Structure 1
Amino acid sequence: MADHQRIHPVVVDAEAPPPARPLVPQGSFRSEKGDQRQRQVPLQRTLAGMPPPLKPPKRRNCWCRCLCWTISLLILLLIIVGATAGILYLVFQPKLPKYSVDNLRISDLTLNFDLSLYARFDVRITAENPNKNIGIYYEKGSHLSVWYKSTKLCQGSIPRFYQGHQNRTVLNVALAGQNQYGRTLMDALQEQQQTGRIPLDLKIDVPVSIKLGKLKLKKVRVLGTCMLIVDSLSTNSLISIKASTCNFGLKL
């Protein structure tokens, strides 16, 4: 066999350390970095394309909170007012005052030269306060008037006074007025007088203040109407009241 075909033995050093090998192949390391870059690029693009996170609507929350507080306070106030009114009602047991027309006198009913009608009525009214613990102040600004159907004949007012507990007060009130359609009105009254039943309405509007113990409350108005049926309209004579129906109420 030729020399160049001889096999030379390879000398191996047993004590030499084995060649160091990379834990991760270079190719794979690069590929992993590439993968990470490829993965990071679409993630960044995705985050860049997303809208910014919405901030909590602070103003709206504050407005809703204020509205809830306001409603709660109103409800609490209504409860307190209702409880107070209930306690006052149980303690004082309020009742509406009563009124009645005792008699009616026509002191003047004259047709003037200018065809206006002048009327003067004297009315006696009884006011009764049935309450045991409530006083009534009759204030300035009262208004009483006598009407025939839809036409006002005369008007007047009652004086200021205080009515105590369970008190009955008789009031003599003078009412006077002038109507420009005197001729027409006088003819209608005379025709109605022939029947012996003349309808008249006494309208009452009186401001009063209620006194609970030592506490004086704000003004309210006593509103009412007394529907009267009288027999005649003769002057200077006491007129007979055949029927009387009165309805009253309070207006805050």
Structure 2
Amino acid sequence: MSIIHEVSPKHCANKKAINFPKLNGKFFYYLSTFFLAILSLIFLVWLILHPTKPQFSLQNAEINVFNLLGPYLLNSSIVVTLQSNNPNKKVGIYYDQLLLYASYGGQRITTETSIPPFYEEHEEKNLLSASLVGNLQPVDPSFAYEFYNDQRTGSLVVNFKVMGRLRWKVGTWVSGSYRFLVNCVTSMPFGPTGSPPFSLKQGTQCSTSI
């Protein structure tokens, strides 16, 4: 007759059972260590490459329609060309969800126009053209005062703004999406009669914030 060493069924079960909580703890420890190493590597590459934010400049703008319909409504039509520049030597840029509009006196004078998404290689430049339109665009009563005052002085200060999201690309790695804003401020002459068209045909540097 063989001798039974287990003193109770509970003791037998504990002896033959696998300690799953201990194995799960080790698994999550190794998994978290692996992901931490990957994130550290990405962060190190990011610090070494140090991507610089893109640069934009206003190349050309022409206001073809700019008419007040009473004190509260405006019709406008503007053709604008911007140049984008990726100054990075080793980092590419994806541009997504780009929207462009014009403002004057702190008020929008056109609706938002969508610009197709695109990718910009290292140290690459691209021209972005858009037609901006504002039909019966509502404006504040103060708009008319600024408009007629600028008409007398012969200069018109217009803001062109680009809103969108960008992603950095290093090799095959692509970062998450970052929101950015471009603001181009330019002064345009009214012309001899104070009526459109008004045009700007020289480059104006824009500010970019991320």
Q: TM-score, normalised by structure 2?
A: 0.69
- Structure 1 residue 112: deviation in Å? 4.4
Alignment partner of 1:150 is 2:111: no
Q: Which has the larger radius of gyration?
A: 1
Give the deviation of 1:156 after TM superposition: 1.8
Tell me the residue number matched to 2:143.
Answer: 185
Q: How far, CA to CA, are the matches of 1:205 and 1:108 in structure 2? A: 24
Partner in structure 2 of residue 239 of structure 1: 200
- Aligned position for 1:171: 128
CA contact (8 A) 1:228 1:245 kept: no
Distance 2:140 2:83 in 1: 31
Task: Give per-residue Cα distances to partners, 1:88-142, cap 9 Å, x unaligned.
Answer: 321x341111100011101222344896211111111000011122221221x22
Instruction: Identify the match of residue 95 of structure 1 among 22, 46, 52.
Output: 52
* Distance 1:113-1:150 versus aligned 2 partners, 3 A rule: closer
Q: 2:87 aligns with which of 113, 130, 151?
A: 130
The structure with the greater share of residues assigned to strand is: 2
Deviations 1:70-97 (A, max 9, x none): xxx9xx95x985664233321x341111
Q: CA deviation at 1:237?
A: 4.8
- 2:81 aligned partner, one-letter code: R
Q: Superposition RMSD on alpha carbons, in Å?
A: 3.3
Equivalent pairs, count: 176
Any gaps of 5 or more consecutive residues in structure 2? 1-31
Map 1:63-142 → 2, pairs under 5 A: 81=39, 84-90=42-48, 92-112=49-69, 116-139=73-96, 141-142=97-98
TM-score by length of 1: 0.58
Which of structures 1 and 2 has the larger relative contact order (alpha carbons within 8 angstroms, sep 6+)? 2
Identity in percent: 23
Q: Answer 1 or 2: which has greater helix percent.
A: 1
| SS of corresponding position for 2:62 | strand
Runs of 4+ in 1 over 4 A off after TM superposition: 79-83, 112-115
The aligned residue for residue 48 of structure 1 is none
Alpha carbons of 1:220 and 1:152: their partners in 2 closer, same or farther (altered >3 Å)?
A: same
Query: Unaligned 5+ residue runs, structure 1?
Result: 1-72
| Distance change >3 Å, CA 115–CA 225, structure 1 → 2 | closer
What's 2:25 paired with?
none
Say if 1:115 and 1:151 are closer, same or farther in 2 by CA, change over 3 A. Answer: closer
Matched, 1:197 2:197: no
Q: Distance in 1 between matches of 2:127 and 2:169?
A: 20
> CA 1:163 to 1:174, structure 2 compared with 1: closer, same or farther past 3 Å?
same
Deviation digits for residues 185-241 of structure 1 (CA, Å, limit 9, x no counterpart): 345323212213322222221112221111222211221322222222742453366
Return the letter of the residue paired with 2:155: R
* Residue pair 1:230, 1:240 contacting (<8 A) in 2 also: no
Q: What is the identity, as a one-letter code, of the residue corresponding to 2:196? A: T
Deviations, residues 139-180 of structure 1 (Å, cap 9, x unaligned) = 1x2222211122111132321111112111011111122422
